[in-house]
A and B are shown apart, each in its own frame.
Chain A
């Protein structure tokens, strides 16, 4: 049977990267139809505020939309919500057809995967009890907010960014909070020991209990979660339990299509998958990154900036004008009144410089490898962040001894590269 012909671009995943990809295609003058498919029942929206302003009641889900319905209509971007792509068939001569879980068929000429990531699930006795939550979607956040509205206590499993942001938001609402972290320090995957130690102190100062090296035996409760039991028998009471132990990239479709997958959909610097006709971008994509030092040839970044920038590159590639992804990675996390901004990737660092006093809750940690600046964690120090992000973008560095001198703005200590740098 001949499949229907289409010149549409199908974008699977209607979040940050997917919406940007559609927008960039239009900015680049693409006039062919675009179909943007998302499995959530909402118009595409921003996720970062879900763990912060949204849980604190400072914003509603209506405030989080990326684009108005009018924008999508005017730009001929068909947004399909609440549909999961179950399978994709490819045609021998290019293009193909996707089939949703409800049987809807979507023919396409070009395919982009912006499938994102899903929370890593925890396998524990009682984990399926009502009151145990993960946080990725607006519906997840609404359920957590509803739980917190009447909760006395929250246990957060996982001391990473999501867990600590939710912990801080809940504490602000007057809920008693315990964070259980399996590792010996908080946010260990991302930041230096100095920054981890700061967060431990800062959250304890704000009344959050933090248990490090926590060994969890299970979730307590008959009809709903009532607490979390540790290996030593201790039970920490909880009306709400949040599990925030990282995410797993959504690579099922890529695998089904026979694309190379290695803890993420493998792409080159122009966002082409192992089948160069298919692009991927955002949390699901594993890409070579010039900022990643050390042993890792490719990295998968979970950030808004990365999703936006990869989506722009992927759109250009689909338009037949591939160029390399080159941008300074950056991240942020707001926990209570503590603003963390990270510029660069610290992977492979061999030295750090502490700038300022962590006790003042205003300081930065700069990361170096072979004396060259790699990255910085900036806590309530936006100027340090701006200086480092800008320096890294130009291939410049900041000498370690100058970095420690808080009497000089970092910006004044930047040393430009000897020759024009491509990184």
Chain B
């Protein structure tokens, strides 16, 4: 089973069963998880799917592209070392992902 645990900035947790190959952003949107906007549908144009990832998630989230890195410089809540755009994290079979959403995305 592939699981995504979303923690909102106020501590509310939402646990969703994900589908391998689908991104953390899409998984949130399809299931109505608050805190992730994802206006551009994952084309790295909007930076409204900003999340903070756990160390374990960072290790399985894949490399960050130059474009993602640049977009993260423009997020509504300032980036941290553990920041990622959740549209760029594609779920892998059998893994568990933990992400925290910022207080604002726009």
Contact = CB atoms under 8 A, between A and B. Distances in A.
B51 to A, nearest CB: 17
Interface in B42-81: 43-47, 67, 70-71, 73-74
Contact of B45 (A27, A332, A390): A332
Interface of B: 22, 26, 29-32, 34, 39-41, 43-47, 67, 70-71, 73-74
Contacts of A387: 74
A382 B75 CA distance: 11
A383 B74 contact: yes
Contacts of A383: 70, 73-74
A308 B74 contact: no
A42 interface: no
Contacts of A305: 39, 46
A304 B67 contact: no
Given A305-B39, A332-B40, A332-B46, A382 B70 contact: yes
Contacts of A48: 40-41, 43
B22 to A, nearest CB: 7
B29 A304 contact: no
A343 to B, nearest CB: 11
Nearest to A328: B106
Contact of B29 (A67, A332, A334, A385): A67
Nearest to B67: A382
Cβ-closest 10 pairs across A and B: A386-B74, A332-B45, A382-B70, A68-B30, A46-B41, A382-B71, A71-B32, A304-B39, A67-B30, A48-B41
A332 B47 contact: no
Given A341-B45, A386-B47, 5 more contacts: A49-B43, A70-B31, A304-B40, A386-B74, A390-B74
A26 to B, nearest CB: 8
Chain B's interface: helix, strand, loop or mixed, by majority? loop
Contacts of B40: 48, 304, 332
15 contacts: A27-B34, A46-B41, A49-B43, A63-B22, A65-B30, A66-B30, A71-B32, A304-B40, A332-B40, A339-B45, A339-B67, A341-B45, A382-B45, A382-B70, A382-B74
A27 B37 CA distance: 14
B29 A339 contact: no
Interface residues of A, number: 30
A330 B46 CA distance: 9
B73 A52 contact: no
B22 A308 contact: no
Q: Which residue among A27, A332, A382 has the maximum number of chain B CB atoms within 10 Å of its CB?
A: A382
A332 B30 contact: no
A23 B40 CA distance: 18
Interface in A47-105: 48-49, 52-53, 63-68, 70-71, 75
Nearest to A308: B39
B2 to A, nearest CB: 15
B41 A49 contact: yes
B71 A334 contact: no
Contacts of B34: 27
Interface in A376-394: 382-383, 385-387, 390
Interface in A313-366: 330, 332, 334, 339, 341
A308 B41 CA distance: 12
A15 to B, nearest CB: 13
A334 B41 contact: no
B41 A304 contact: yes
B31 A71 contact: yes
Interface string A27-46: 10000000000000000001
Nearest to A23: B32
A52 B39 contact: no
B32 A75 contact: yes
Nearest to B41: A46
Nearest to B74: A386
Nearest to B73: A383
B8 to A, nearest CB: 14
Given A339-B67, A382-B71, A332 B31 contact: no
B27 to A, nearest CB: 10
A387 B67 CA distance: 15
A66 B29 contact: yes
A128 to B, nearest CB: 32
